[in-house]
Amino acid sequence: MRFSHAFLFALVLHACLLLLVRIPPMAPEPNAARSLIVHLSAVSERAAAPASEPQPAAASMPSSVPTPAAVPPEPPIEHAPVEVEMIKPLDSSEGVTAPLVHVEEMSTSAPQPPRDVRAGNVESERIDTAVLDDSVSAVPTDRAAEIAAEVRASYQDVLADWLRRHRQYPMHLRRRGVEGDGSLRLRVDRGGNVALARMENPIPDARLNELSMELVRRSSPFPRMPGDLDGESFECVIDIRYRLGD
């Protein structure tokens, strides 16, 4: 196969040479003749040499880079006119009603305790209140009793002092050495008048008892009962003494 190709190539080459001989040669330029000789010699060398794998021809680079075509300018974009809606000013005379919002009222009261707890608390409060009332009422009652006792004692001292002022100890009894102690129960009304008089604890000498009753008659009426002393009358027991040294 290789020999057939070489024979065919040699035949073509000889035909070309015959054509060149018949055509009157033109005076080739020196450079052209040299180029032809070079090409022929190169062709003969390729024919004589064993056929080898065909080598890919080097890609020929274009001598000049094509310039991009001029891009025509884009036409200007026409914007559609924007319609502006005039807002009508709000008339101040027209009232603006806002939507009603339902607001639940929150209870500010404390949560109610269970019924049993409330009942226990109420009962405890009742007991505490009762005890407090008793304590408060007891204070004025006790104080009033103390004041009443002081008034009674003071009025009793007044009556005893009134009797001492009116007492008489006869000289003949003194000379005979008659003396003794006893007690007199006396009751007077609010005006100081005697309602009751008797010897609560009689004196051993009867003459001194008689002298004590005479003393009550002589001292009446007694000082009036004070206004802060309760009752329609006042009753007390007053000591009676007859001593030679008094």
Question: Would you say the C-alpha torsion 38, 39, 40, 42 has a positive or negative sign?
Answer: positive
Contacts of 208 by beta carbon, 8 Å cutoff, 6+ apart: 173, 178, 179, 180, 182, 240, 242
State the pLDDT at residue 241. 94
CATH, domain range 145-242: 3.30.1150.10
Place of tokens 């109420």: 122
State the pLDDT at residue 110. 55
Q: Where are the domains of the chain?
A: 145-242
Residue 81 pLDDT class (50, 70, 90 cuts): low
Cβ(155)–Cβ(230) below 8 Å = no
85-104 pLDDT, tens per residue? 555 555 544 544 545 545 45
108-156 pLDDT, tens per residue? 555 565 555 555 555 656 656 655 555 545 456 788 889 989 999 999 9
Please tell me whether the overall predicted TM-score, pTM, comes out greater than 0.85 for this model: no
